[in-house]
Amino acid sequence: MTISTGDRLPDATFTVMTSDGPTKMTTQDVFGGKTVALFAVPGAFTPTCSAKHLPGYVEKAAELRAKGVDAIACTSVNDVFVMGAWGKDQGVGEDVIMLADGNGSFAEATGLVMDGTGFGMGKRSKRYSMIVKDGVVSELNIEEPGDFKVSSADFMLGQL
């Protein structure tokens, strides 16, 4: 079953790359007591994700924060080393928390899994965005396959 507006995020553990190496972060660590702009991509370093999706959130980080967002987070079914390298390549700095969902457990628990086996990608996360307030989904924007519209930073700014 797919998560919906009004639902609490499932308990999950992500891995993030820090200056001290890989570090675990729980759903509570990321979303507890905060308003978070979360977006998910099918894969780091993939064309739409690298050319539009992640850069849009980096470019609009200050505007999102001005509208009440405490943190911006990106998740993907990639390992922490890939997510760390992609964040560095894209110059995210402190603007976006790069949440590695290496085994896809968060994607599965939210019901937002995409089957990319036909493309040699295995099971991945669907492309989506959500506004999460203290762990509860207040807005959820799931893209149709191949689209990039409702999960963009600009669309989210319009929702805030």
Task: Give residue limits of the domains in the chain.
Answer: 13-159
Mean pLDDT of the chain: 94
Architecture of domain 13-159: 3-Layer(aba) Sandwich (3.40)
31-64 residue pLDDT tens: 999 999 999 999 888 878 777 889 999 999 999 9
Residue 30 pLDDT class (50, 70, 90 cuts): very high
**What is the value of pTM for the model shown?**
0.94
Q: What is the mean pLDDT of residues 106-135?
A: 91
**Residues annotated as part of the active site:** 49
Higher pLDDT: 117 or 100? It is 100
**22 vs 144: CA distance, rounded Å:** 32
Q: What is the mean pLDDT of residues 64-84?
A: 97
Question: Which amino acid appears at position 113 of this protein?
Answer: V
In angstroms, the first-to-last Cα distance of the chain is 26
